[in-house]
Amino acid sequence: MDTRRLGRSEIKVSAICLGTMTWGEQNSEADAHAQLDYALDHGVTFIDTAEMYPVPPQAATAYRTESYIGNWLAARRNRDRVVIATKVSGRSSEMSWIRGGPKLDRANIAAALDASLKRLRTDYIDLYQLHWPDRKTNYFGRLGYRHDAKDQSVPIEETLVVLDHAVKAGKVRQIGLSNETPWGTMRFLAAAETRELPRMVSIQNPYNLLNRSFEVGLAEIAHRESIGLLAYSPLGFGALSGKYLGGARPAGARMTVYSRFSRYTGARADQAVAAYVALARDSGLDPAQMALAFVTSRPFVTATIIGATTMAQLASNISSARLTLAKDVLARIEDIHDVHTIPCP
């Protein structure tokens, strides 16, 4: 497994990161531990989670995922072999069960961090990420920005000062962004430089063959500022495997079980997926592995975050790290992208 440097830090992470958002909802704790064992045995040393996981978020299951990981770490006694990333929730009026409605202020971040450390059964987190911005902006499927002059959010500098305290206390090694915009990313970097505060080392945003919006404004920042992408939803909720084509809804699949996951559905999505799946099969490739290999091969990507509900899916996804796409396949991917440009932001 290829390893890559996390920003300008000394931390090295595997090119494939194990995502965990189904654990506690679609997957049991035994499933989670089996996935962790398999992933580590196959070179995956990077694990990503969040305080609000599993997804869909709800009071009854919130925080389970971190607890599953913490129990695994305690049982295996292998904390030094893995890089653990988790996230603090941004402002939300819809998740009142998280501290009465989370925000990225001092009280919320301090409480969230201590709770995550306790659940993960560790005294430090390698990468602590802001799950989404505190301000109103365009993320989670919204491509265009609409300004709200009345929006009152926690200032970026205030959030960064709190994270600085966490780093100095030894509770956090590095910090990162998630679901962030070009403006927000540069504001965090500028504040870190001018006020001598911790520098963001990564940004976790969606990136896949159906959504290459990261390339428009953030890819240049990733390169020039050494803030690599941790690409989530690299299969577009599994759509790029082709399993939903023709209106199919396989039993137990995410978009079968949860109607809320509609981001990678619709006529435009289906047309693009059909083209990519045809290309993969034409080239003797597994469609899901081709989609994953494309993401992992991008020069601004630090790690591709995979998720799986079955061990067969996990094995296939991890194996994609060994796949190098031929030049003609990459060229044909660009041809399809020219026709189906960001059908699913």
Domains of the chain in start order, with CATH, are 3-204 (3.20.20.100)
For residue 7 the two structure tokens come to 């920003």
Q: How far apart are CA 269 and CA 210, in angstroms?
A: 7
**pLDDT attached to residue 82:** 98
CA 142 to the chain's CA centroid: 17
CA 107 to chain centre: 25
For 93, the 3-state DSSP assignment is: coil
Q: What is the pLDDT of residue 254?
A: 83
CA distance 155 to 289: 41
pLDDT at 248: 87
Q: What is the pLDDT of residue 249?
A: 87
Coil/strand/helix, residue 250: coil
Task: Kindly report the pTM of this predicted structure.
Answer: 0.97
How many angstroms separate the CA atoms of 109 and 95, rounded?
Answer: 15
Residues acting as catalytic residues? 53
CA–CA gap between residue 13 and residue 137 (Å, rounded): 30
Q: What is the separation of C-alpha 49 from the centre of its chain, rounded to a whole number of angstroms?
A: 8
Taking the mean position of all CA atoms in its chain, how far away is CA 10?
21
Rounded to whole angstroms, the Cα distance separating 64 from 50 reads 10
Question: How distant, in Å, are the alpha carbons of 11, 32, 172, 177, 300 from that of 127?
Answer: 9, 20, 7, 10, 18
277 in Cβ contact with 304 (< 8 Å) = no
Mean pLDDT of successive 10-residue stretches along the chain, which has 345 residues? 97 98 97 98 98 96 97 98 98 94 97 98 98 96 94 96 98 98 98 98 98 97 98 97 91 84 92 98 98 98 97 98 98 98 96
In this predicted structure, what is the pLDDT of residue 250?
Answer: 87
Q: In Å, what is the CA distance from 31 to each residue of 18, 34, 37, 112?
A: 13, 5, 10, 26
